[in-house]
Amino acid sequence: MDPLVALFFAVSPTVREDSVIFIFIKPSLRREDLHIDLLTKLAFWGSTDFSSFVKSFNEQLSEPLSEHNALTLATKPVFVDRHSIVDAGNLRMCAQSGTFAICSNVIEDGRIKEISGIESTESFLTIAIPFEYKAKLRRELSDRNYTPDKMFADDRSREFPRFEKAKGSLQSISEIVDSNINRKGLYSKYGAHIALNGLFTVGEITEYARRFAYSRAEDRVWLWFARDRVNALQHRNNLVLTADIMKKSFPSLDLLADESFLYHDGYVPISNYYSNPNNIRSGQKIPVSKKARYIKMSVTMTSSRITIKTNLFNDAKLFFSSDQIKALYSDEFVVHQGRADLDIRVPLELSKGNFLIVLTYPSTQTRAFLAKSGIQYENIDSPAFKRTGLFSLDCNNKVTT
């Protein structure tokens, strides 16, 4: 499967709302597999009597299925190997590199009750796509030739549809949560945190930032945009866009540009976590493998160094945290050939203390490490670790100096 095709469809809707991409890491079966054949025929069965279906289905088999085995297949969804589906005339399917998923069934007391969605029975990951960045993602996809006329190869006239109009203009519904003016020094400065109070693309927000800045009398304007008042009050956290606009030229300051816009590419609205607790909220979606490496870790400490010996894979990034013990140069250190060292400073008066060692989030790790550990650390495990809601692994330690 091509993940950029999924992203294409996630940014295609015209409504001003967020989207979600579901990621299933599952093997697929060929079209002629018995499991697929059973689910396909069951979908067109005209009765809720499961026993009669099994009897009819077994008439085509040289080795009939027991009702128990048939029930196991009927209640388990399956993905179809797209290479086993030959349909050269279906230009859309070929262009989209797609596959098919067949849902399972809820069967109780020998009766077929309902179809069960794949996301309700299978482990999955989700990626939230904020509306603010959909137009930007559309442009980037087009640059890579993921365009409507390619995805819908039988209709070359297609283009990305325009987003629906916003319910109000940015000027009318946004609000300044707080602001500051500084007229000291060589040039005057103005800063404000702004709540958008609506869904707008970063392009629309950028244009509004320019108009806002040039309506001010100050020479330099900083603007921090958040989706709503709650997020704006967090001051520089969960921001959609940051604007830095210099309206006058000051060569002596060696400014790189008159306008600077910081697009927060990792931005995901906090509201996503609360509105979709089952689908989007961070959590272990991929089960820990039965073949996961059992991680061992020993920690020794002197007044100037912490040394960890472990069988974690090479290049594992660890994070050190303590209210009592200070890391000298960096809180991060890396495992290499079964060892990781961190220079520290221990206060002379400290006799006992605690510290925390964290295997940092998968998003901060190298691809080489994730290839072995798994994208949610599903290939490593240990009683010494506590899996947090953000997929990090914590190891608490108590030390006596």
Q: What is the pLDDT of residues 88-101, one digit of tens each?
A: 777 777 777 778 88
Backbone angles phi, psi at 34, to 5 degrees: -60, -40
Q: Which of 126-140, 222-236, 300-314, 376-390 has the lowest mean pLDDT?
A: 376-390
- 293-400 maps to which CATH number? 2.60.40
Q: Is the model's pLDDT at 275 over the cut of 60?
A: no
- For residues 339-362, one letter each, b for 16 or more C-beta atoms within 10 angstroms of the residue's C-beta and e for the rest, the string is ebebebebeeeeeebebebbbbbb
Q: Is the model's pLDDT at 1 over the cut of 80?
A: no
Q: Is the model's pLDDT at 20 over the cut of 70?
A: yes
**Distance in angstroms (rounded) separating the CA atoms of residues 63 and 10:** 44
Q: Is the model's pLDDT at 279 over the cut of 80?
A: no
**Distance in angstroms (rounded) separating the CA atoms of residues 70 and 54:** 7
The pair of structure tokens assigned to 130 is 């904020």
Query: What does the chain come to in residues?
Result: 401
More confident residue, 277 or 22: 22
CB 189 within 8 A of CB 222: yes
**Distance in angstroms (rounded) separating the CA atoms of residues 376 and 365:** 11
- DSSP labels for 131-191? GGGHHHHHHHHHHTT--HHHHTTT-TT--PPPPPPPSS-HHHH-EEEEEEEE--SSS-EEE
Task: State pLDDT tens for residues 197-241.
Answer: 999 999 999 999 999 999 999 989 999 999 988 888 877 678 899
More confident residue, 319 or 41: 41
Average pLDDT, the chain: 83
Instruction: Report the side by side order of strands in the sheet with 332-334.
Output: 332-334, 317-321, 352-359, 393-400, 386-387
CB 197 within 8 A of CB 174: yes
β-strands 339-345, 380-381 pairing: unpaired
Q: Name which of 268, 184, 249, 261 is nearest 222 in CA terms.
A: 261
Q: Where are the domains of the chain?
A: 26-122, 170-271, 293-400
The average pLDDT across 335-339 equals 93
**Distance in angstroms (rounded) separating the CA atoms of residues 114 and 106:** 5
Res 70: pLDDT: 94
**Distance in angstroms (rounded) separating the CA atoms of residues 189 and 219:** 6
Task: State pLDDT tens for residues 99-158.
Answer: 888 999 999 999 999 998 887 767 777 888 999 999 999 999 999 999 988 888 777 677
Task: State pLDDT tens for residues 137-150.
Answer: 999 999 999 998 88
Q: Which long-range contacts (CB under 8 A, 24 or more apart) does 38-45 make?
A: 38/65, 38/70, 38/73, 38/74, 39/73, 39/74, 39/77, 39/78, 39/102, 39/103, 39/104, 39/105, 40/102, 42/74, 42/105, 42/112, 43/102, 45/112
CA distances from 215 to 210, 245, 247, 248 (A): 9, 12, 11, 14
CB 226 within 8 A of CB 240: yes
Longest dimension (CA), the chain: 90
